[in-house]
Amino acid sequence: MAIIRGAALASGAAVVLLLLTGCLGMEGSVKGGSVDPAGTWGDTSDATAPSLVLEDGGDFSGTDGCNQLSGTWTVDESDHVHFENVASTMMACEDVDTWLAGLDEATVGDDTMTVLGQDGYEIGTLERAD
């Protein structure tokens, strides 16, 4: 009887631990959503084209076609990718549309990432490269 009760308590504790761990979430991981945006977005072979690389660990790097970008990313329960701690160089480049520097969050559908600015409106799209 004591063995069964101990096994039941251990099983219950394991379930609670798993539930709590799932609620904590991690940078670079899906917290209840179904989107996995990790990978390369945009054309990294063209130095003047915007691109992002989202690492599995939650870091990202990229370029707006002129300036280098870096920071962290997470995915929320509604499948929105949130970009945080964004840092950027501040070079002036002629004839380069630096729209990607205004990224705040994104949505992913199929192989297209729709990048949104701080106002929640679309500022551009990137195609999955890998």
Amino acid identity, position 128: R
- Three-class SS of residue 108? strand
- pLDDT tens, 49-92? 999 999 999 999 999 999 999 999 999 999 999 999 999 999 99
16 found inside a domain: no
Number of domains in the chain: 1
The gap from C-alpha 129 to its chain's centroid, in whole angstroms, comes to 15
Reported confidence tier of residue 130, pLDDT bands at 50, 70, 90 = confident
Task: Kindly report the CATH number assigned to the domain that includes residue 58.
Answer: 2.40.128.270
Of 53 and 7, the structure prediction assigns the larger pLDDT to 53
- Determine the Cα–Cα distance for residues 81 and 101; give it in Å rounded to an integer: 15
Q: Which is it for the CA torsion 106, 127, 72, 117, positive or negative?
A: negative
Does residue 10 sit within a domain? no
User: Does the residue 2 lie in any domain?
Assistant: no
Q: What is the DSSP letter of 32?
A: S
C-beta of residue 38 within 8 angstroms of C-beta of residue 29: no
- Does 19 map to a domain? no
pLDDT per position as a tens digit, 27-49:
454 455 678 999 999 999 998 99
In a domain, 73, yes or no: yes
> Do 100 and 88 meet the contact criterion of CB atoms below 8 Å apart?
no
Per the structure, the complete domain to which residue 114 belongs is given by: 27-127
Residue 9 domain flag: no
Domain contains 13: no
Q: Does the residue 101 lie in any domain?
A: yes
21: confidence class by pLDDT, cuts 50, 70, 90: very low
